[in-house]
Amino acid sequence: MAEQDLQRVSLWERIKGILSAAALLLAIIGGVALLGGFAMWLWADDLRTTGTSLMIAGAVILLVAAVFSSVNIREALAGQRGRFAINAVLMVLAFTGIVVFVNFISFHNEARADLTASKQFSLAQQTTQVLGNLSENVHATAFFIPDRSNQAADQQLADDLMFEFERRSNRMFTYEFVDPESDPGRAEVYGLSQFPSIVFQAQDSGQAIVLTVPPLSEQDLTSMLLIVTGEQQKRIYFVTGHGEKDAINQDPEDPQGFAFAGRGALADSYSVDTLNLAQVGTIPEDAAVLVFPGPSRNMSIQEFDSFDAWLRNDGRAIFLVDPGVPNSVRSLLEPWGIALGGDTIVDPGSSLHQALRTPLLQSGQFNRQTSITRDLDTVLLPLSTPIEVSVEPEKVPPWVEYIPMARSTLLSWKTADPESEDFRPETGDTIGPFDVGMIVHACGIVEEEIDTVLAVAGRSRECISEEGSRKPTTIAIFGDSDFAANRYSGYSTNLDFFLNAVNYVAEDYDLISIRPKPFAFRELVVTSQEFDFIRFSSWFLLPAAVGLASVAVWWRRR
């Protein structure tokens, strides 16, 4: 019995000796297994189980190596080098812990700043509002073929935009990319044959819609979200048939067109269409706002009667008029207390250089009490006509309210002379200032006595009477139409002035804002010598600087 115990002890001592001798090799094997398993777990989702097993095996091997080399470890740690190694390991662990902690805090409390001049990496306020008000979860599946170079730019743009959408929606919106060549079954589910395409699907209703790319913009994604979640878009109609500017022609090269204004309304999540009343006969029931962009010819009697009846029945309209406004438009606005003429404003106090007939509205000329103009910078108004209220201030009935948006300076005057830029009172010139933008809220026309009071209800207005309450007629009038046309819409906040009025009249007050400017492409153009300097300095200058610093440190410590 004693001999068997002796043999067991001898065998155990022999195993200990073998493991102690192989401790270094075991440590290397365990370390490689641990690191390899961690890499597989981190970067290969389909091999995470194998990676976890490798990490466990590596940790066990390292533990065995540590146990059977404990004497050597203890002796090594007892010396000066050991203490230095322990200190170094503790510092590395402390540094790693701090980095992990900072990343954890920053991940859950992120702060981002867009420092580009045009805020090209920021979503518009209208988009963030839509994302914040999503009624159900939406998942987007983007089908791009990664091997095709002609899709790389569109895929990067889609990824950037949808990443921002996901972040801003608190993950109510999610997305993924799928290669239709490696996974054709996913594309067949939606019946797709053209790529790239993005499928938006509402998770609750199952409603799906396909967006073909390109083109791709922030507005396209926002519109898809509104459609797939069943949100009803308000429809804006641009009136045509009387010489108005074209809002549907998408040619931005047409200086008189309203292409950018139409696109701006689309970007604000409105549905945009044209309305030729002589052709369709009636004003559509889904008309949220009618826009008259610079009419130059009179309406027919039938058209006038239809527009007049629509306005009196709580209609909402925006008139952009120019000097010499047609008589039918004047007559349409007269019952609401607005007087328009054929005069032109001349403003030496604030106008375009050497163009006194082109007023330049600046900060002090806007009415900051209304959200339409509160944040505007400057607005250029080529050939503006004054907008005047025909009712004396003390005689304005309680069911009507006038809100001026902006006016010319004290040095301005109006003139009927189409050429003169000199003040001539003998010819009828009248000194200013004059309103160039006006909002009218009214429960009825000025001359009609009604037992109704216009009251402020939150940010909107309501007509209060014994029968109850209803929405008033809301009209916005601008003394110029060219400021929102293609030629001038890009100047400062011209387009914002018009679109803010659309938001206001449509009672979408949360959409009123200063919109981000178009993407600004900045290309670095260098000569061949400058390119060589950039290339060789990055190759050699920085490494040489680090090498010199190392030599300097060695020289001081030698």
Average pLDDT over residues 270-274: 88
Q: Identify whether 196 is preceded by a cis peptide bond (ω within 30 of 0).
A: yes
Q: Identify whether 433 is preceded by a cis peptide bond (ω within 30 of 0).
A: yes
Cβ within 8 Å of residue 91, ≥6 positions away: none
Distances in whole angstroms, Cα of residue 173 to Cα of each of 35, 168, 199? 36, 9, 13
Q: Report strand pairing: 453-457 vs 460-465.
A: antiparallel
Cα gap 405→498, rounded to integer Å: 11
Cα angle, residue 546 at apex, residues 541 and 551 outer, rounded to 5°: 120
Q: 2-21 vs 23-43: helix axis angle to the nearest 10?
A: 60
| Confidence check: pLDDT of 514 > 90 | no
| Confidence check: pLDDT of 67 > 80 | no
DSSP structure class, residue 511: G
Cα gap 485→130, rounded to integer Å: 27
pLDDT tens for 335-371 read 999 999 889 999 999 998 888 999 999 988 999 889 9
| Confidence check: pLDDT of 319 > 90 | yes
pLDDT tens for 331-342 read 999 999 999 988
Cα gap 515→502, rounded to integer Å: 14
Average pLDDT over residues 303-327: 95
Structure tokens at 349: 């106090």
Of 485, 480, 501, 443, the closest CA to residue 236 belongs to 501
pLDDT tens for 428-466 read 999 999 999 999 999 999 998 999 999 998 888 999 998
Query: Would you tell me how many other CB atoms lie within 10 Å of the CB of residue 517?
Result: 13
Q: Which residues lie across from 177 on neighbouring strands?
A: 142
Rounded to the nearest 5 percent, the helix, strand and coil shares of the chain are: 45, 20, 35
| Confidence check: pLDDT of 522 > 60 | no
- 67 close to 15: Cβ distance less than 8 angstroms: no
Which residue shows structure tokens 């009636």?
282
Domain boundaries, the chain: 16-108, 125-228, 241-511, 524-558
Q: 70-78 vs 80-108: helix axis angle to the nearest 10?
A: 100
| Confidence check: pLDDT of 68 > 80 | no
At 434 the pLDDT is: 96
| C-alpha of 158 from chain center | 14
Count of residues making up the chain: 558
Kindly report the pTM of this predicted structure: 0.65
Cα-only R_g, the chain: 36
Which of 85 and 327 is assigned the larger pLDDT?
327
Which of 123 and 415 is assigned the larger pLDDT?
415
Domain spanning 125-228, CATH class: alpha beta
pLDDT tens for 215-240 read 787 878 887 887 788 766 789 999 99
End-to-end CA distance of the chain: 65
- 321 close to 383: Cβ distance less than 8 angstroms: no
Cβ within 8 Å of residue 198, ≥6 positions away: 140, 141, 142, 143, 158, 210, 211, 213, 224
At 111 the pLDDT is: 64
- 283 close to 306: Cβ distance less than 8 angstroms: yes
Sheet with 473-478, side-by-side order of all strands: 271-275, 235-239, 287-293, 316-320, 473-478, 435-442, 400-407
pLDDT tens for 402-416 read 999 999 999 999 999
DSSP structure class, residue 246: P
Structure tokens at 482: 């060219």
Computed over every residue of the chain, the mean pLDDT equals: 84
| Confidence check: pLDDT of 523 > 60 | no
SS3 339: strand
Task: Give me the percent of the chain exceeding a pLDDT of 70.
Answer: 84
Buried b (16+ CB within 10 A) or exposed e, 415-446: beeeeeeeeeeeeebeebbbbbbbbbbbbbbb
| Confidence check: pLDDT of 177 > 60 | yes
Report DSSP letters for 393-454, one per residue: GGG--TTEEEEEEEE--TT-EEES-SS--S--GGGT-EE---EEEEEEEESS-TTS--S-EE
pLDDT tens for 13-53 read 676 667 666 777 777 787 788 888 888 777 776 677 888 88
